[in-house]
């Protein structure tokens, strides 16, 4: 081969890039995981490529595109579902039973060791390993850990400044009402709801504050951090208030001003006034120890005590409380107030959408555009389970929606 200049060599495509381009051409994953699979009857071992399942195009175009199409499909089929999905769990199989028996033996052993005052670290690790295997074998949920501490009791007192919502028993139905026109045509309308956080001060078109000095940065940051909790609380309140298991497909995105807002495709229809009531009555209280003023200056920080394995006050040498201890103290203090209260802003947008319409498609495209957070609630994915297989079986699972779909298929 004749000698090439460096410039000529640099122009030749890298093998890795060629491989990537071919993968994209064929619409397959550009960075699959290699997983070894052993047939437990024959002992034969093969290496299988499992697609990465990325949801971001920059990481893997084909996987992200597939994930987006799947989300659109899940959203489309779930939004206007007209029959209750079958959520009956399968009977546990032989492997699952065996693992569970193994776990029981280990837990028994650990309790005996603990009773004798011996170290249980090794057995604890084995229990955790079996738990992982149980999860891999398709068992949902977790078992109570003997070591687990009791849950800290938080104040459940309702805020005086928020209207109380009447509660109804929640019927086990997830499907919206059907309306019949005089000519016999049937409509099953659903909703597209957008919830937004409050204003923290005026912003310019690019989202930056007009007056940085008075802009509520702290409240904006805390609202953004705790937004998922607020959304959870909204769903909970909504179900208790309307009295049925309202389902939604939700995408959360940051607005230009970096405040979170959520788009919810809600199955079935609800009265606007009722929605407004639930939005107004929904809040999330953050019970943290006070964190507004620094307790130590940068030039005199707490010191690490290697012997006691904790930080100490640099002057008095007393141990600083751990996060858990600080929370316990807070829980015991009847005069404590939450460090932050999250609420939705006053602006709420609701649209009625009928199944199959152009409007529905447009909104679905909108919801599936965002990779940020896709929450998927029970039953949404039932009919698309099979579509999810083949790309989302991977360590750690994909977006929760895709993971659930694959597991149940
Ligand atoms: Zn991929």
Q: How far away, in angstroms, is 370 Cα from ligand 1 center?
A: 17
End-to-end distance of the chain based on CA atoms, in angstroms?
Answer: 54
Query: What's the pLDDT at 201?
Result: 94
Q: How far away, in angstroms, is 54 Cα from ligand 1 center?
A: 5
Residue pLDDT, tens place only, 111-151: 888 888 888 888 888 888 888 888 888 887 777 665 555 66
Q: How far away, in angstroms, is 389 Cα from ligand 1 center?
A: 14
Query: What's the pLDDT at 84?
Result: 80
Residue 293: inside a domain: yes
Residue pLDDT, tens place only, 64-110: 888 888 888 878 878 877 788 776 777 888 888 888 888 888 888 88
Strand partners, 131: none
Q: How far away, in angstroms, is 230 Cα from ligand 1 center?
A: 32
Residue 289: inside a domain: yes
Q: How far is CA 264 from CA 256, 352, 398, 401, in A?
A: 19, 12, 20, 15
The band of 2, judged by pLDDT with boundaries at 50, 70 and 90, is low
Q: Which of 108-117, 232-241, 339-348, 389-398 has the lowest mean pLDDT?
A: 389-398
Same domain, 101 and 197: no
* Confidence check: pLDDT of 219 > 90: yes
Same domain, 297 and 382: yes
Mean pLDDT of the chain: 79
Asked whether 189 and 354 are in contact (CB, 8 A), the reply is yes
Residue 78: inside a domain: no
Please give the share of the chain, as a percent, with pLDDT higher than 70. Answer: 85
Same domain, 204 and 108: no
Query: What's the pLDDT at 37?
Result: 83
Residue 109: inside a domain: yes
Residue 330: inside a domain: no
* Confidence check: pLDDT of 284 > 50: yes
Q: How far away, in angstroms, is 379 Cα from ligand 1 center?
A: 26
Question: Where a domain ends, among 110, 136, 162?
Answer: 136
Query: What's the pLDDT at 397?
Result: 30
Q: Which domain holds residue 384?
A: 179-304+338-408
Q: How far away, in angstroms, is 30 Cα from ligand 1 center?
A: 5
Asked whether 380 and 87 are in contact (CB, 8 A), the reply is no
Same domain, 292 and 380: yes
Q: How far away, in angstroms, is 397 Cα from ligand 1 center?
A: 13
Question: Where a domain ends, among 136, 166, 188?
Answer: 136
Residue 101: inside a domain: yes
Q: How far away, in angstroms, is 50 Cα from ligand 1 center?
A: 8
Same domain, 184 and 132: no
According to DSSP H, which parts of 60-120 are helical?
Answer: 61-79, 94-115
For the purposes of burial, counting CB atoms within 10 Å of the CB of 324, is it exposed (0-12), middle (13-18) or buried (19 or more)?
A: exposed
Residue 349: inside a domain: yes
What average pLDDT does the segment 215-230 reach? Answer: 92
- pTM for the model stands at 0.68
Same domain, 370 and 240: yes
Residue pLDDT, tens place only, 347-361: 889 988 877 777 788
Same domain, 265 and 360: yes
Q: How far away, in angstroms, is 35 Cα from ligand 1 center?
A: 14
Number of domains in the chain: 2
For the purposes of burial, counting CB atoms within 10 Å of the CB of 264, is it exposed (0-12), middle (13-18) or buried (19 or more)?
A: buried
Same domain, 132 and 271: no
Same domain, 202 and 343: yes
In angstroms, the CA 292 to CA 217 distance is: 13
Residue pLDDT, tens place only, 157-172: 667 667 778 888 888 8
Same domain, 131 and 206: no
Query: What's the pLDDT at 343?
Result: 93
Whose CA is closest to 174, among 66, 86, 264? 86
The band of 216, judged by pLDDT with boundaries at 50, 70 and 90, is very high
Residue 150: inside a domain: no
In angstroms, the CA 80 to CA 359 distance is: 13
Same domain, 232 and 381: yes
Same domain, 236 and 105: no
Query: What's the pLDDT at 391?
Result: 19
């Amino acid at each position: 081969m004749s000698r090439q200049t460096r410039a000529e060599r640099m122009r030749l495509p890298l093998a890795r890039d060629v491989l990537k381009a071919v993968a994209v051409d064929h619409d397959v994953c550009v960075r699959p995981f290699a997983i070894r699979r052993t047939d437990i009857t024959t002992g034969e071992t093969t290496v299988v490529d499992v697609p990465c399942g990325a949801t971001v195009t920059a990481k893997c175009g084909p996987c992200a595109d597939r994930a987006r199409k799947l989300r659109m499909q899940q959203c489309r089929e779930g939004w206007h579902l007209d029959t209750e999905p079958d959520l009956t769990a399968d009977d546990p199989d032989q492997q699952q039973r065996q693992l569970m028996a193994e776990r029981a033996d280990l837990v028994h052993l650990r309790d005996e060791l603990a009773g004798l005052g011996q170290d249980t670290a090794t057995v604890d690790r084995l229990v955790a390993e079996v738990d992982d295997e149980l999860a891999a074998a398709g068992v949902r949920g977790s078992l109570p850990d003997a070591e687990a501490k009791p849950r800290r009791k938080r104040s459940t007192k309702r805020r005086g400044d928020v209207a109380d919502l009447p509660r109804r028993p929640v019927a086990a139905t997830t499907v919206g009402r059907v309306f019949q026109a005089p000519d016999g045509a049937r409509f099953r309308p659903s909703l597209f709801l957008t919830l937004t956080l409050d204003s923290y001060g005026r912003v310019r078109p690019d989202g930056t504050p007009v007056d940085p000095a008075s802009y509520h940065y702290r409240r904006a940051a805390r609202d953004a951090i705790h937004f998922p909790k607020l959304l959870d609380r909204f769903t909970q309140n909504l179900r208790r208030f309307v009295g049925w298991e309202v389902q939604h497909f939700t995408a959360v995105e940051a607005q230009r001003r970096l405040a979170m807002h959520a788009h919810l495709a809600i199955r079935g229809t609800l009265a606007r006034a009722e929605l407004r009531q639930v939005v107004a009555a929904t809040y999330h209280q953050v019970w943290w120890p006070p964190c507004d003023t620094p307790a130590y200056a940068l030039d005199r920080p707490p010191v690490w005590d290697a012997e006691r394995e904790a930080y100490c006050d640099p002057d008095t040498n007393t141990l600083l409380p751990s996060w858990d201890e600080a929370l316990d103290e807070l829980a015991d203090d009847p005069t404590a107030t939450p460090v932050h209260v999250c609420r939705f802003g006053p602006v709420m947008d609701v649209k009625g959408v009928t199944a199959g319409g152009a409007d529905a498609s447009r909104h679905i495209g909108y919801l599936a555009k965002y990779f940020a957070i896709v929450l998927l609630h029970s039953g949404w994915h039932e009919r698309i389970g099979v579509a999810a297989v083949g790309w989302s079986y991977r360590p750690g699972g994909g977006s929760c929606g895709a993971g659930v779909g694959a597991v149940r298929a």
